[in-house]
Amino acid sequence: MTIFTVCRSLRDSLCRAFDRCCRFLPCLSDPARRSALGLKAALVMLHLIYAGVLFLFDGGLIEKTKREPWYTGIYLALFVITLVQYFVTSGSSPGYVLDAMRKVNEANSIFRRTATVSKQPASSKGSVVVTVEGSQLGRPLLKDNGTPWSKLVLDLYPPGSVRSLTCSYCNVEQPPRSRHCHDCDRCVLQFDHHCVWLGTCIGVGNHCKFWWYICEETALCLWTGIQYITYLKSNISSAWWKDAIMIVLLVTLSISLFFLLLLLLFHSYLILTNQTTYELVRRRRITYLRGIPDRVYPFSKGACRNLYEFCCLRSSKYRMESLPTALELEEKARPYTCTDVVTCRCC
């Protein structure tokens, strides 16, 4: 009876302590956010364990640090940059449709108010926030008559096609390449996927940050794995329990590195062809991609142009692309000739 009383009092104390923590940290009261915070804490702990065990066991690395401090300095810099990039990516917005619509409506109201008061040509306020990719890259979103959101979305669809797709959850018109994420409960522009480890969606607003995080994480895992192998080669006859710990960590690190390399190559392929994970996996179920041959990439502008736009033209997280016309799809489906290879049509 005493044991049950002690357990009950301990449980009540833990519940009261947790309630106090929830009052100071409201994010802990939400199960989804609590789970995301737990995953982030676990990821940080894994990084600290892999690096800490290496510096704790490997005396040769400490000696090398004294002789060549720049080597360990670069490794620690990569370690810190990777964690910073992780938190930056997880805290960034993927580009929500509702936010883009709000920006459009705000810019439209400012345009009309300015035109009414000043009676002078307006200066396309808001065009640096929301841009549309069409025949002219980065052209102003608002025209002289202040295009509303519904008209803007309809203009992104070619004549004669499915002109709009209203989300049944958000009740808002979705631009092409958008999708509703049930985890975030929002529509995302150029939806790629929902990353559980980051706790956010990957879309037009943070896809570049996500790729850089994968690249840095892959480099860090590769460098750490090389350090583990170097230690095992030179200290294989030392204490067996140290070798056992290092081998277990090396095996798990190798598995992680394998999947990271696959993920990095996969997203590099998506970038070069201007696709998203959702479009590649659900190609036959997406309305605007249905009927297009698999070897045709409807949004691709060439590998070099796709790479340039992905790396250098991501200043706005509300960039939208219009669907290609039938003539453009026919041109993309045309087989390559020797002239196309010489003129670098694929680029």
Residues belonging to the active site: 195
Contact 86, 198 (CB under 8 A): yes
> How far apart (Å, rounded) are the C-alpha atoms in residues 154 and 174?
9
Which residues share a beta bridge with 194? 201
Q: Which residue's structure tokens are 């959702």?
A: 278
Task: Determine contact, residues 203/318, Cβ cutoff 8 Å.
Answer: no
Phi-psi region of 321 (alpha: psi -120 to 50; beta: other; left: phi over 0): beta
For the chain, the three-class secondary structure string (H helix, E strand, C coil) is CHHHHHHHHHHHHHHHHHHHHHHHCHHHHCHHHHHHHHHHHHHHHHHHHHHHHHHHHCHHHHHHHHHCHHHHHHHHHHHHHHHHHHHHHHHCCCCEHHHHHHHHHHHHHHHHHHHHHHCCCCCCCCCCCCEEECCCCCEECCCCCCCCHHHHHHHCCCCCCCCCEECCCCCCEECCCCEEECCCCEEECCCCEEECCCCEEECCCCHHHHHHHHHHHHHHHHHHHHHHHHHHHHCCCCCHHHHHHHHHHHHHHHHHHHHHHHHHHHHHHHHHHCCCHHHHHCCCCCHHHCCCCCCCCCCCCCHHHHHHHHHHCCCCCCCEECCCCHHHHHHHHCCCCHHHHHCCCCC
